[in-house]
Chain A
Amino acid sequence: MSSLIRIQTVSILLILVALFVPVWWSTTQVHRAVLPTDQIRALAAAEAKNVFHTRVAVRFVSGKGQPKAVAESLQTHLNNLFGGASFHFAVRADASTEETQSTSGLYQLRIDCGVKNIQGEGSVKLFEDRVVSLQTPVECADTESIVAQAVAVVGGLFLDERADFARISGSSSHNNDDIRKVKFAPEYQLIFNLMNADPVNLLVSWDIQAAIKDYFQNFVDAVEKLYDFKIKSQTKYFTSLPIDPEVINAGKDGEMVYCLRPHHLPHFINSAEWSFGGSVVSTAPPLNFVVYVPPHAQSPLYIMGHDHGFLKTNSFLIPQWGGISIVNPPKMAPAVAIHENGTTLAIRNVPPKWTLSSSDLSDPMHIFIYQMREILGVKTVGLGSTEQLLPGFQFNYESSSVGITKWELDRLARLTTIQNIRNAVNTLNSLITLIESMEDMILGSTEHLLSS
């Protein structure tokens, strides 16, 4: 073979190899779409700059004093105190003597100066609808000390919120509150269950619609901006406990009383038989509240507390699941049903019926509201730090007629926001880490992802 032909042959082969191997390589690569990795990584740093802009309106009740000066000074001091982290305050003076509507993010500070109470000190009262009132013995002209006390009150209110934010952003150590609180979801299924353990001897029904309307609906309406609750009810029959309660010879006439000790309670829910699945149609997480009516053979049934006394509420809470309240039935005589069968009257045994009316359900409903607050993570707003700074002052708190005060609602909204932002940033970052680690994984079209 001549050398020219040899060179030609070999070079053609080499050229082919050099051409086609890269083509093959590039066409068999795993398709990975481009992701905004840097932006996502930068989100974590941007998180610290989340600041809630809060407005405070200062009003002097008596009309004396200098609201403008107080407002300016208060704003300066508060922003210094918080240092621009988590909260930024805009304080203005409210010269009018009328009450203004309370809206989210606008808080009112009512100062009543020159008023002494019995002990000679002032008092602070936290009202339900975003108003805090400060009654101080200091004279109205003494702007500095009024401002100092106002800083203690308003600053104290928001300081422990900030501590909560820091705790969330910090390490993931969990305390009891986090274990009890259910994860945030914009929609929940709220299911009220009536457990009738022995319908053969007592058939229980309840007017739950009226009870919800009377007691619960206001709560649901109050938090509707945060959560959407779909409320349903159901009755379950033949729900016997998987555990046997203890028998105690209590009561005046030596009557038998049944009780459940705290270590029995984790086994109360008979998960093999009672299905609390919630709706199959929606993926909203379910929250269950149970009214349990024990059978005659096991009533009256009480829950014993840690101090060996019976609980007045006769209820307990299962974290992240719901609450259970035991309602003891009255003793009822057996009944019969009669119906006409042509010319004869046919008599048959029917179980006696007991209907729980709305007023019968008021105690369980109030207990459920309390348990609902625990499960949603509603924290009572307190002035703990203020109490340290203003010794001798009296502190009063007004409770809500719907189940949650506006202060608590605002605090819950802010806390939930911070938590959700944190979760979202964490999830995105971990996804990016995961994607970077698995170089073989195909990343399809991300158009719909990037647009959201």
Chain B
Amino acid sequence: MNFLNWLVLVLGAASATNAAGGAIRVVEDMRGLDRAALAADFLSAGAGSSGGGSGHTNNWAVLVCTSRFWFNYRHIANTLSMYRTVKRLGIPDSNIILMLADDVACNPRNHFPATVYNNAGRYLDLYGSNIEVDYRGYEVTVENFIRVLTGRHEEHVPRSKRLLTDDRSNILIFMTGHGGKEFLKFQDAEEIGSHDIADAIAQMFEKKRYNEIFFMIDTCQAASLYKQIYSPNVLAAASSLTGQSSYSHHHDMEIGTAVIDRWTYSNLETLEKLERQDKNTLANLFKTYDSSVILSDPGIRTDLFPRGIENALVTDFFGGVQTTELTLEMYKTSEKQKVLPADVKVEFDGRLSSAQKDTLLEKPRYKLKVVLPQTYLINVPFVLCFGLLLTGVVVAGSV
């Protein structure tokens, strides 16, 4: 079935030499169309419970540094700055998955052992004394990252390495490293594509593993990485648009490398001023971005976030929510006393109305039908064109 589709597409497209590029372009347009239609469906489905409050009961953070080697000290410092911020604003260690691809604090090249600074003035040691790194060194791989997001781990993986979210969890995902157009490099050995990230988030949505996601990414051409996300309730912010690079902020001469990146530094300048009960919104945070200082244009994607950045508080993603209830009574098991139950009143109408009966049957909520191109090493239209070309040449040559 798909084969014929492709055939039709290809033969209907431009000339043979242009066929390969043309086909992909056509496919992308198709995908864009489908997505827009789908997104509209999603937004109506997801908008029900929000409207101001986000409705989350717990917060999680997944902080990933994907770069290895000493000269990428600043990426570790970026991640640890975010780690410190979310811890300060209330997310406990058990709700943070921290992935650091290399050890710089206890690296023999570090002039200040067991410390990581994000500032040449060395005001604050980000490593501190109370740090839990869940995935470190060679464990930071694309596979482990996707396993963390989707929750599909191998048998014996301990709880501290799992993202145990439910459908009332707000998740902050922060990634930093070296990237390019629609890919992010993991440890100089492999890369994750924007489609992989989008599919992982789609799987999270299917399994009801999040309420809202704030996806932050600080790499070169960062905006291309969130371009393919198609699940609802995802807000994304990136350090630079497609085609732009992200830059580091300043160097520390004694450490010998740059210690922080510009976009993260700009975020931290605002976040460091906040306290736990802060009412600042994400719109305020985004307004503080100054392209002339960051030296790139930060990208923000809000089309999948119906609540709106003016209603979303910074602490919705960076802070921890802990609701408590006062316990007003105790249950005395030793005395058989009169216990008055809570008020339970039901409309006594005799029969279940037909409307109520319908709600018992749950319709499948939506249908995802995104057609992905088959990306093989040799493209199908390419092969076909090559075959046709070959045949044509032979025929022509024999004439």
List the interface of chain A (C-beta within 8 A of B). 1, 6, 9-10, 13-14, 17, 21, 25, 28, 41, 44-45, 47-48, 81, 83, 85, 128, 156, 159-160, 162-163, 166, 169-174, 179-180, 183, 215, 218-219, 262, 265-269, 271-273, 276-278, 280, 283, 303, 305-306, 311, 313, 315-320, 323, 325, 362-363, 366-367, 369-371, 373-374, 379-382, 384-385, 388-389, 396-403, 422, 425-427, 429-431, 433-434, 436-440
Contact = CB atoms under 8 A, between A and B. Distances in A.
B330 A369 contact: yes
A323 B166 CA distance: 21
B94 A367 contact: no
Contacts of A437: 202, 368-370
Interface of B: 3, 48-49, 55, 57-58, 87, 90, 92-94, 130, 158-160, 166-168, 199, 202-203, 206-208, 276, 320-346, 348, 350-352, 356-357, 359-364, 366-372, 374, 376, 380, 383-384, 387, 390-391, 394-395, 398
B39 to A, nearest CB: 14
Contacts of A283: 159
A399 B338 CA distance: 7
A438 B320 CA distance: 34
16 contacts: A169-B359, A171-B359, A266-B322, A269-B92, A271-B93, A311-B328, A316-B325, A323-B327, A385-B344, A385-B348, A396-B338, A397-B338, A397-B339, A397-B341, A434-B206, A436-B369
Nearest to B350: A81
Contacts of A313: 327-330
B209 to A, nearest CB: 11
Contacts of A381: 341
A373 B331 contact: yes
Contacts of A402: 333
A170 B363 CA distance: 10
Given A316-B327, A318-B325, 11 more contacts: A13-B391, A81-B351, A85-B360, A159-B348, A272-B92, A283-B159, A305-B326, A382-B344, A384-B343, A397-B339, A433-B206
A377 to B, nearest CB: 13
Contacts of A438: 199, 372
A69 to B, nearest CB: 23
A276 B160 CA distance: 12
Contacts of B337: 399
B339 A367 contact: no
Contacts of B87: 272
B198 to A, nearest CB: 11
A31 B334 CA distance: 63
A434 B203 contact: yes
How would you classify the secondary structure of chain B's contact residues: helix, strand, loop or mixed? loop
A175 B312 CA distance: 21
B206 A431 contact: yes
A320 to B, nearest CB: 8
A341 B45 CA distance: 78
Nearest to B386: A17
Contacts of A25: 3, 380
A223 B9 CA distance: 63
A17 B325 contact: no
B397 to A, nearest CB: 10
Given A303-B326, A437-B368, A271 B331 contact: no
A218 B203 CA distance: 42
A359 to B, nearest CB: 11
Contacts of B344: 160, 379, 382, 384-385
Given A14-B391, A316-B325, A45 B199 contact: no
B61 to A, nearest CB: 13
Contacts of A427: 207
Contact of B394 (A13, A265, A384, A433): A13
Contacts of B345: 160, 384-385, 388
Contact of A17 (B320, B359, B391): B391
B206 A430 contact: yes
Contact of B327 (A28, A271, A315, A384): A315
A172 B369 CA distance: 24
B361 A45 contact: yes
Contacts of A316: 324-327
B339 A380 contact: yes
Contacts of A323: 327
Contacts of B395: 10
A10 B332 contact: no
Contact of B332 (A160, A399, A422, A431): A399
A276 to B, nearest CB: 8
A172 B167 contact: yes
A367 B372 CA distance: 56
A396 B321 CA distance: 40
Contacts of A373: 331
Given A305-B328, A319-B323, A369 B333 contact: yes
B323 A433 contact: no
Contacts of B357: 48, 85
